[in-house]
Amino acid sequence: MQHIGEHGIVRSRDIEAVGIPRQYLVRLHGQGKLNRPARGIYTLPDAEVTEHHSYAEVTKRVPQATVCLLSALVFHEITTQSPASVWIALSKGARTPAFASPSLRIVRLSGPSLTEGIDKHQVEGVTVRVYSAAKTVADCFKFRNKIGLDIAIEAMKDCLYRKKANVNEIYHYAKVCRVSNVIRPYMEVL
């Protein structure tokens, strides 16, 4: 129980890795001492659930995922959007996760556009990887056909207005994501 309290959300394989049998979790769940929000995921019944709980849950189930696009905009508080799904970035060869809840939207990235600009944040005891505000704005322009150009422009304006990033940081990640020519006219207007 102490291990679960320290880590917030645990997978049965995490418990097994520290030498505790998986059946222990099943027994505690049956006694009402643990919640099981999803297959293989356990939490304490009195655990504090934050607005970013779904990000922690997805990170536990897909450790190589990085929260991106609309979900990262919500995390950085630079959008008025409220996505119904958790947006994650995976490498091009990674296996597609198969679970129903929470709903996922997956984008595939490779090279520096996958690995650069990742910040690590603690959410309910879980280390969640989220792209920085500047990288998220560049990604919004890269995937403007999926999320809409209006959202990308709004994200850039809000990011600069709230001082989450500066023009140079956004332009750096625009080069990394190979959208510098796309983003330049919008940056010049601001």
Tell me the C-alpha distance between 114 and 110, whole Å: 5
181 and 143 in a single domain? The answer is yes
Beta strands in 64-174 (DSSP E): 66-67, 86-91, 104-109, 118-123, 126-131
Residue ranges in the chain whose pLDDT is less than 70: 1-7, 47
Question: Phi, psi at residue 177, to the nearest 5°?
Answer: -85, 0
* Residue 141: predicted pLDDT: 97
User: Per this entry, what is the length of the chain?
Assistant: 190
The dihedral through the CA atoms of 159, 119, 108, 77 has a sign that is negative
Q: Report the chain's mean pLDDT, rounded to a whole number.
A: 89
130 and 66 in a single domain? The answer is yes
Q: Which domain holds residue 35?
A: 2-43
128 and 101 in a single domain? The answer is yes
Determine contact, residues 113/142, Cβ cutoff 8 Å. yes
Q: Is residue 143 part of a domain?
A: yes
* Residue 6: predicted pLDDT: 65
* Residue 98: predicted pLDDT: 84
Q: Is residue 168 part of a domain?
A: yes
* Residue 122: predicted pLDDT: 93
Measuring CA to CA, which residue among 63, 104, 97 is closest to residue 83? 104
Which amino acid type is present at position 15? I
Give me the residue label for tokens 């996760």. 97
Tell me the C-alpha distance between 34 and 47, whole Å: 10
Q: Is residue 48 part of a domain?
A: no
* Residue 3: predicted pLDDT: 61
SS3 170: helix
Q: How many domains does the chain have?
A: 2
* Residue 157: predicted pLDDT: 95
Question: Phi, psi at residue 105, to the nearest 5°?
Answer: -125, 125
| Beta-carbon count within 10 A of 85 CB | 14
58 and 114 in a single domain? The answer is yes
* Residue 115: predicted pLDDT: 97
11 and 75 in a single domain? The answer is no
